[in-house]
């Protein structure tokens, strides 16, 4: 369970940005890849705790889950994996280890208070 330390990093980064830009944050938008090694529910739970006593207290974490996208050498095009337990092209079945997306753990936007 390392989601709490991840949540604390998210809060630190978002707080730093909010202070720099002098804005009040209502929500933090995050891209979370299926191969990031972070569990969404545990992260949401930890986020609330990590926000306590900071400028972000009461803010929300909005998670956009990113599926694993691989490059299929046979089809010569990016494909979305059907399952992270099966690194094969969902169309032609060719095995591939070339991951293009799915490792994201990225703050993409701050939603500001109206």
Residue ranges in contact with other proteins by CB under 8 A: 1-2, 5-6, 9-10, 13, 17, 21, 23, 26-27, 29-30, 35-38, 84-88, 95-97, 99, 105-112, 114
Q: How far is the CB of 76 from other proteins (least distance, A)?
A: 17
C-alpha to C-alpha distance for 111 and 61, rounded to whole angstroms: 10
Q: How far is the CB of 86 from other proteins (least distance, A)?
A: 5
**Of the two residues 37 and 52, which places its CB atom closer to other proteins in the complex?**
37
Q: How far is the CB of 18 from other proteins (least distance, A)?
A: 9
Q: Which two tokens stand for residue 84?
A: 């992270």
**CB atoms closer than 10 angstroms to residue 99:** 15
Q: How far is the CB of 58 from other proteins (least distance, A)?
A: 16
- The residue with tokens 């949540």 is 7
In 1-114 the beta strands, taken as DSSP E runs, fall at: 25-33, 60-66, 69-72, 77-80, 99-101, 105-112
**Of the two residues 78 and 95, which places its CB atom closer to other proteins in the complex?**
95
C-alpha to C-alpha distance for 24 and 19, rounded to whole angstroms: 8
**Of the two residues 5 and 77, which places its CB atom closer to other proteins in the complex?**
5
């Amino acid at each position: 369970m390392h989601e709490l330390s991840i949540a604390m990093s998210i809060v630190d980064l978002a707080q730093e940005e909010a202070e720099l830009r002098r804005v009040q944050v209502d929500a933090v938008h995050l891209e979370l890849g299926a191969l990031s090694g972070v569990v969404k529910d545990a992260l949401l739970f930890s986020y609330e705790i990590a926000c306590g006593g900071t400028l972000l207290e009461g803010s929300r974490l909005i998670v956009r889950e990113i599926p694993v996208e691989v490059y299929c050498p046979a089809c010569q095009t990016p494909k979305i994996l059907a399952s992270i337990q099966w690194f094969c092209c969902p169309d032609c079945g060719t095995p591939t280890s070339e991951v293009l997306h799915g490792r994201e753990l990225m703050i993409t936007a701050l939603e500001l208070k109206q």
